[in-house]
Structure 1
Amino acid sequence: MEALIAIAIGSLTASGVYLMLRQRTFPVIIGLTLLSYAVNVFIFAAGRIVPGLPAIIAKDAAGYTDPLPQALVLTAIVISFGMTAVIVLMALGSWLEAGHDKVDMDEEEETRA
């Protein structure tokens, strides 16, 4: 199970980095989203979630699960959603102003603009 989670985190990270190196805005946005998913899975897996145990300390429970990684992942999900919305709006504004969605521009294009 640990190997499966490690493979999932590695493939999400590799896909995210590959997409961030593209020269179009949509793959960059998807790459950032995949990287945030990889970080969320990593934090969640690092928390050693134990099925069947409560997240709070109870007198009758045999143990408890640390609630901090769960809270961190929930906060990271909300922040990544907001970050994705802002980046999508910036990309849309850039596309409406420039007429294309390239991330990098050549020096010749900069002097024409």
Structure 2
Amino acid sequence: MEPVFAILVGLFFAAAIYLMLSRITIRIMLGIAILGNAVNLLLFTAGRVTREVPPIIPDGLDTLPAGAANPLPQALILTAIVISFSFLTFLLVLTYRAYQDLETDNTDEMRFAEPRDRPLPPAGY
């Protein structure tokens, strides 16, 4: 099963890089989202994809028993999901704000676009 996931991780990385090299900001954001999913799948695959017993340590033992699942990849994936979601949300707000001010979603046009002359919202808005 690991070779299938390895090929899928490679496809995710390739699609993410292709989308991030685009000039359209929405495609860039989709590429970043796919990149986050590729990293999560990579961590999942690196933690072995076998069914094992839960990592419950009985009293008197200091280490995991043989054949127990490794909880570290699961914790890393949960952390990566939270970080990628917050980063993607920040990028979404930033992209929307840039589109409002510059009236374009093309990064080449953004470099030379003049911001619209409109007042800023009041403080605390």
TM-score normalized by structure 2?
Answer: 0.79
Residue number in structure 2 paired with 1:10: 10
Residue number in structure 2 paired with 1:86: 90
Identity percentage over the alignment? Answer: 38
CA distance in 1, matches of 2:14, 2:4: 15
Aligned residues of 2:44 and 2:73 also touching (Cα < 8 A)? yes
Residue number in structure 2 paired with 1:29: 29
- Runs of 4 or more above 2 Å deviation: 55-59
Matched ranges for 1:1-113 at <5 A = 1-58=1-58, 63-105=67-109, 110=112, 113=114
Q: Structure 1 regions of 5+ residues with no counterpart? A: none
Does 74-83 or 46-55 show the bigger shift? 46-55
Does 63-72 or 45-54 show the bigger shift? 45-54
Aligned residues of 1:57 and 1:64 also touching (Cα < 8 A)? no
Kindly provide the amino acid, as one letter, of the partner of residue 79 in structure 2. Answer: T
Aligned pairs, number: 109
Secondary structure of 2:108 counterpart: coil
Deviation at 1:62, TM superposition (A): 5.5
CA distance in 1, matches of 2:50, 2:6: 18
More helix by share: 1
Higher Cα Rg, which structure: 2
**Structure 2 CA distance for partners of 1:52 and 1:65, relative to 1, 3 Å:** closer
Deviation at 1:3, TM superposition (A): 1.7
Residues 17-61 of structure 1: CA deviation (Å, up to 9, x unaligned): 0000110110000000111111111111111243141133347x7
Q: Structure 2 regions of 5+ residues with no counterpart? A: 60-64, 115-125
